[in-house]
Amino acid sequence: MTDPVAKILNQQLFGGDPFRSEPQHSPQFIDEGWASYPEVLDTVIDTLKPRMIIEVGVWLGQSTFNMLERALIHDPATSIICIDTWLGSPEHWLNNEWKLQLRLKEGRPDIYSLFVDNVRAKGYGDHILPMSMTSLQAAKLLTELEISADLIYLDGAHDKEEVLSDIEKYWPFLPVGGCMIGDDYCDPWPGVVEAVHEFKKDREDLEFVHSRDKFVFYKK
Ligand SMILES: C[S@@+](CC[C@H](N)C(=O)[O-])C[C@H]1O[C@@H](n2cnc3c(N)ncnc32)[C@H](O)[C@@H]1O
């Protein structure tokens, strides 16, 4: 079997498997996240059969594992590049329930080690490249690494300025025929809705579909 690109990049960037440490938490798998309507992603994955997925906004990996499990049915060499600061977003600080989920430790969110445990428990280390940085920083690094992706899933920041930046910065990684899906394209998240409308206005290189709470852009 061809090695997944994530395995090769993990070797290049980290000198080996970044998930090789011992489990740090008990239980070793925590199923927590916001992965709503995974069937929208499943349908696109069944059509595209992506070999490379970029995900912005990962948290503990619920949406990562949903996408990867589906994609691996079609291609055992699928990789997913997981981009997150693992520091949460302003909305996590403003909602008391979500703030608890930041697991603050000495004033700082402590989430990444839970994601690592989850990846190890799932056995997906060779398929996942973790990029622990802002989406803007990751876009610059991925450009240098000459990465392209069949599917891009955006679920990071939710304010207009950052969502528009994520769409603009990640659109170039898609070839014609590729697909970008973004979460929370719905009334409770007006910043996402406004960013989507601003990006797609007057563009002729995309086909737009609204599916459940997601926007879907196919690159033409
Ligand atoms: C809603 S959560 C992602 C949920 C995940 N997709 C799921 O379905 O469970 C949003 C994530 O985006 C990350 N995030 C927000 N803004 C970011 C940015 N500019 N760059 C990188 N990560 C960011 C946060 O740290 C947080 O983990």
Domain ranges of the chain: 5-18+35-151+167-219
Tell me the mean pLDDT per 10 residues along the chain, length 220: 95 96 91 92 98 98 98 98 97 94 97 97 97 98 98 98 98 98 97 98 96 98
Q: Which pLDDT belongs to residue 78?
A: 98
User: In a mutational test of the pocket of ligand 1, which residue from 80, 85, 95 has the highest number of ligand atoms less than 8 Å from its CB?
Assistant: 85
CA distance 83 to 145: 15
- Closest atom of ligand 1 to 36 CA is 8
**Any ligand 1 atom below 6 A from CB of 155:** yes
Q: Topology of 5-18+35-151+167-219 in CATH? A: Rossmann fold (3.40.50)
Distance, CA 187 to ligand 1 centroid (Å)?
19
- Of the candidates 134, 120, 118, 138, the one whose C-alpha atom is nearest the C-alpha of residue 60 is 118
Q: Which pLDDT belongs to residue 107?
A: 96
Whole-structure pTM value: 0.98
